[in-house]
Each structure stands twice: as structure tokens, then as C-alpha cells.
Chain A
């Protein structure tokens, strides 16, 4: 009998997609007992040396198999002081609803020579892979374990991954294990402390769980910080100088190099010095080619930011949709930090696949007929996944509304990456008038190139400037004082928030959207819709509770040297950096867990001692100002 190999994917849809490719479409489907989603697919496959022709069972899990929790005696809210959760014993157990899935893996492993892990190739997937391995080893301690490395479910790619398996990355799995333990302990300790202490403060908190998460709070902190900046803002008047010249029937407006100043008397004096000089002198006439660069290859953060700006979908929806498109084999894995294409990828072949499309098929053809350019390379490479790109063409009638939007964006972006920059001609005129410098700029777009397919970017010709000669003198038609007022920044939008989280190390590209959804769900933040149509803006506004928590935690550490508020990104960022050290093998899981717990335990002790600060803030916003 042929050798048997067990393959386990992260989701049923991936198992099915991979099975379809490996079997060439003919496989047998078996239901498993106790779970209606997970199926076993059986077929034959030739793995090449050393495995040869084998009979394969392809199955899956549904995300994590196990969960970490405290021992039973610590589970009750009043069972122990919240602070003891930093040390209380924990155990990893298969989730109740996953028991049949775990049993299926153990059973299948019993008859298998080897286990091939097909979980998604990212940190989380590595950890899920280690959970799968543990179950398989329980069923068959001698089973050999391999890991398939893949980043999309396109046929050739899948077959190659099946034939060139690698080892599971223990470091990455350990980093996730550390994160899970830290999130459990820190989250539970603070959630219990603040819930128990604050419930009595205000009527509306009575039945409420006030949850804490080490990513959610800095995320909330960004929203509150911006909100307070908007609220506290004080407008101020500024003054500037406008110079206008009428020439060749055109009005040329010159902009002041100083833009504007906040001292009216000084601006009047400067204008008078201009008028006194009577004539302005052209100090520079500069004509140079200008270009607008095509975009970089698409990363997850960019997809979320651009997506919520152009597609009007929130980041979590975008990720769900992208995930669905990936599972169906239309786009590559949507969780990636990489903004450079590997040289080995045949980009032209991917472009050719878009020929049938009646929106950009013609454009794709033109690229292959000579306009193709190698994409720009960004500076990020997660060494796991390529930038997000379409892997096959799909007829739009097969997609729902949101899928259509996201697929269109991913594809247009990809084609734009493979196009030339937009080209134009820029003119810059600089004048010296009295002692003040002014300038006027003109732009003529000559070749739109990538802009033809990437409809999200705008670059348009300005009014054409009349001719100027260097060193010529002229008398401006008008020179006036202009007046304006500074305006408050806008409330935080979701793309901006993602940008802040990314820059400050809060969450990973895979989890940012979840954290934002969490703070909405917890009622720390609400979404305020403003405007309509293309100018529609969704702003994030903190609730009274959200503001109270941030102010409370800021006050808890106020005046304490070396203590950092939980509303700031710094503690979480430290923790995130230590995760990277586990991945690099320079720190162990235990070291990192201990160090990070110590860091948060200190804040916990301060919070306990100065809990009155937190209560006062809640009373202020939820009772007095309610």
C-alpha cells in the first residue's frame, strides 16, 4: 500500500482549494464526526523524492485549536485578587468546540507516515501549526512533520509548495505563545481590577465589563488624544502677502515664500517694503520634467488605509473580503508587510491573466506590448509573503459588491506598479519683490501612464503660465495683504489611526483592524459620519467612558518618574519588539514573558494604589457631565 500523508490547513476553504490542485480535481470527500465545516479530502499525489506517490488526506482546523486559561479556582471574578493573575497557573486546553477536529487529526495521524502543515505562512499560522503537530504526535509519536510554504492558492504555486516542504518555525510559534500568555494575564488582571473598581462609580457601569487590552488602550489613546486636540484648539489669525500679475490675458498669482506670519504689523511693514521697491525681479525661471511616481507594491497596512479612503469600507471589512478573495484563489495572501516583488515572480504572466477584463484588459495588453516596467521596490520585506497581487482573473459577476471593489483595487494597484510613472513638465517662477520672495508654479501633464489604470490618484495640469525671462523686471498688477485663521485638525479617521498604529508598533498588520473593531464594540469609541458622496468622512470620536479611562490612566502615572500610562503606545511597543527577539532567536519565550509581565505589573501596582484617580475621572465624565 502507498504511504499515507496527512495535510492540515488553517481553514476548510484552503484545504479544499489545495486538495483540488493536488488531486487535479478528483478527490473523495468525507465528513468528520462532530463538525459540519471540516472535511477530509482523500486523493493520490506524487510528492517526488523522497516521498514518491502517496495517498493523501487533506483536512483542516478552524483557526487556533487550543486556548489558554487560568486554572478553575482562578476563573471567578472574585476568586482571587486581580494582581495574582500575573502569576496564577494557566493551562492550554483544546477548545470545547474544537474537540472533534483535534480528534480527527489524532485519528488520521495514526495511519500516516508524515504530517504536512498547510496553515497560513505567518506568525499565527506557525503557532496553529504547532498545535496541529501536538495533536498529531499524540496520535502517532513517530510521525514526521513538515511545513508547506505558500502565499497564494494558485495551482503551480501550491504544487511547488507540496513538493518542497520546510520545517516549522519554532521561534515564531513561541512568539505567539508568549503573546497569548501575556494578553491573557495582563488583560485579565486589568480588566478585573478596573471593572470591579469602576462598576460602583456610575449607574451606567453597573452591569458593564470594562475590558482592557494592551493594544486596545493605546489605540483608544490615539483617538482620545486627537479628540482633545480638536476640542482644545484655539484659532489664531495670520496674515500673508498676495501678489498678482496680469500678463498675456492671464492672471498669475504669486505665493509668498513665508506663506503667512502671525504678526500683522510685521506683514504690513513687509508689504510696504515691497511697494516701495515698485518693481519685482524674476530671479529664477525653472523648467524641469516632473513625474508622479507609480505606487509601491501593496502591503496590508496600505490596503487597509487606501481601502478605507477610496473604497469606503472599514479596515476589518476590507480584511475579511481580502481573505475571502485569497481563499478563493483570486489574490495572494493579504497579510504581508512586503512592498517589493521578488525577482523570481513572473509578473508579466500575472499581467497577462488580466486580458479578459473589459475594464483594464486593454491596459494590461498595452503593458505587455511594451509599456511594462519593473515595479519600484519599497524597503520592507517580511521574508514570508509577496506584496498583495491578483493571482488569477475573475469575472465580476462571480463576486459580491465588496469583493468586486477590493479585487478591482488590488488589480488596478498591481497594474499601476507594473506601469511607468506619470510624466509632466513643471515650470517654477521665482521673484524678488522688495526683500520678499514669491513664486508661481505651473504643471502640464504629458503622459498619464499608470494614472490611466490607477483611478485613485489625481494629477492634473494647472493653468499655463505666461512667459517670463530671468532677470526681467515687472510691476505687479496687485499686491495685497491676505488674512486667514488657523483651523483645528480633523477628528481621527480610520486610515489615519492605522497609520499611527503601524508607526507606533501597536498590533500587527493582521490584527490592527480587530483592535479598532474592539474599541468600537466596547463602546469606547463611536463612528461619526459626516458629509455625503465622495466627501463622506467617518470620524472616530471617543465616548465619555473612553475619555475617562484615558484621562484616569494618565493621571495614575502623572508625576511618577519612569512610569508610562497605559493609554500610550510605549509599553506595548516594547513588548512587540521583544516578540521579534523571540522570532530572531535572541530571547526565549520565558524571558520575554517575565520581562513584559514585570513592566505591566509595575503599572498595575500604581493603578491599584492610585485607583482614586481612575474613579475620579469616571465620575467626572459619567456622573457630573453626563
Chain B
């Protein structure tokens, strides 16, 4: 069986994440015997998967390093107006999508639905609605958090594959190297960001559910000022 030290070293080498000893010990003692008998590489994989789904404040050690390990707490598209995002979300709620001037239904009609119930009937639809209402072009503003719980605002200066409202979940993890900071904002460029994936379910679900409500609240505060 792999030792906690071996696993920690593996994850540090491959993903630049400094996993805390305490967390690893708990991970090993709570995993079942079948898992414990796995070869070291498979066990490391499981551990990494858990780390990416965890809260960094619990799973990482807080040793200072030139490489920053961060998790996403919020993402916004600052290239699209809030209202047009609300309109797009409402279109999706109505089961519609826009193709040029054409309004398209994204929910299959009753009689054409036979046999489509064994799975989801939506996947083969030509117009895949953008549930977030974002244009997808960004740039995006993110709120990131490190293991110590410190939060920073980050701006996507150049488009980064994987940073979009559709693709990036709340709690997703990334590491930053040599990033510039200006006016208190971390500037994200493809060269300094490595996205590791993952998400924190307990944060991601409510974030998605309440997104329209939050947009509307922000709009009404803007109108008030």
C-alpha cells in the first residue's frame, strides 16, 4: 500500500498541489479495504479526484510556495450585459433558442418523442441553448480563494480555454505561476494558468440555481444608484 508521503509527493509533482498530511491520513483511514489494496498509482488517482472535489481550505497545506493553488468561488462574464444574460436565461426556461431570426424550440414535441424517454431527449437537438445566458466570449471576472481562505479578484486578460460559465464549475481548481497583479486584480493569461478541473458540489448547485436571481438583484442595485 502507498504511504501518505508517496501520494503527497505524486500529487505535488504532477499537479503542483501541496496536499495536507492530515487530510491524506483521513482519506486513507476512511477509504475501504478494497481501495487500500489498490496499486499506488490508482490510489493516487482516487486521492487526486477527491482533492479536486474538496475545499482547498481543508485539503491543502498552507506552506508558502511560488505556485498558487486556488479554487473558483465565482465567475462572471463582463463582456455581456446583465440584462441580456437574464433574457437569454428566460429563453432557455421557455424552451426556446434563437437562430438568426428564427425562434427554435429546444424541447421535443409530444408525438415525436416516442422512444426518446430512455435517456434525455434533448441531446440530439440542433440548437443547444446556452443555459448561463453568457455570450461565451468573456472576458470573465473570477473570484479565487487559496488554502488560507484569502479571496482575490482575477480578470481573464486573454481568452483561456476552459474558462467559461458553461465549462468552469464553482469549486474548480487551478494553479497560477508568475501571474501579474494590477490594481489588486490577478491577471489571467493562458501562460500562467493551469486548470485542474473539479468542483465543489455544495457550492456549485446553489450558484447555478440562484444565478438568475443574483443577476436580477444586481440589476436592481444598479438601477438604484
Contacts and interface: CB of A to CB of B under 8 A. Distances in A.
A269 B185 CA distance: 8
Nearest to A554: B94
A446 interface: no
Interface stretch (A57-65, A199-207, A497-505, A528-536): A497-505
B1 interface: no
A265 B83 contact: no
Interface stretch (A164-172, A421-429, A461-469, A562-570): A562-570
Given A265-B185, A503-B100, A562 B107 contact: yes
A262 B223 CA distance: 14
A266 B78 CA distance: 9
A248 interface: no
B155 to A, nearest CB: 5
Given A269-B185, A503-B101, A562 B113 contact: yes
Given A233-B83, A263-B78, A265-B185, A564 B105 contact: yes
Given A234-B219, A269-B182, A262 B81 contact: yes
Interface string A288-299: 000000000000
Contacts of B80: 262
Contact of B182 (A238, A273, A562): A273
Contacts of A570: 103, 105, 109
B4 interface: no
B87 interface: yes
A438 to B, nearest CB: 15
Contact of B83 (A234, A261, A435, A561): A234
A236 interface: yes
Interface residues of B, number: 29
B223 A234 contact: yes
Contacts of A273: 182
B157 interface: yes
Contacts of B81: 236, 238, 262, 486
Contact of A261 (B79, B82, B109): B79
Nearest to A562: B110
A568 B113 CA distance: 20
A90 interface: no
A472 to B, nearest CB: 24
Given A269-B155, A500-B101, A236 B219 contact: yes
Contact of A435 (B82, B141, B157): B157
Nearest to A505: B102
Q: What is the interface residue range for chain A against chain B?
A: 20 to 34
A95 interface: no
Nearest to B96: A568
Contacts of A620: none
Interface in A557-584: 561-562, 564, 568-570, 574
Interface string B175-211: 0000000110100000000000000000000000000
A270 B101 CA distance: 35
A237 B218 CA distance: 13
Contacts of B109: 562, 564, 570, 574
Contacts of B219: 234, 236
B110 A262 contact: no
Given A234-B223, A236-B82, A236-B222, A261 B182 contact: no
Contacts of A269: 155, 182-183, 185
A500 B158 CA distance: 36
A82 to B, nearest CB: 23
B144 to A, nearest CB: 15
B179 to A, nearest CB: 13
B183 A272 contact: yes
Sort A-B residue pairs by CB-CB distance and give the 7 closest, nearest first: A503-B101, A562-B110, A263-B78, A269-B183, A503-B102, A234-B83, A236-B81
25 contacts: A229-B87, A236-B222, A237-B222, A238-B81, A258-B79, A258-B139, A262-B79, A262-B82, A263-B76, A263-B155, A266-B155, A266-B185, A268-B183, A269-B155, A269-B182, A269-B185, A272-B183, A486-B84, A500-B101, A503-B102, A562-B113, A564-B109, A569-B103, A570-B103, A574-B109
Given A237-B222, A574-B109, 14 more contacts: A233-B83, A234-B219, A258-B79, A262-B79, A262-B80, A263-B141, A269-B182, A270-B157, A503-B102, A504-B103, A562-B109, A562-B110, A568-B103, A602-B110
Interface of B: 76, 78-84, 87, 100-103, 105, 107, 109-110, 113, 139, 141, 155, 157-158, 182-183, 185, 219, 222-223
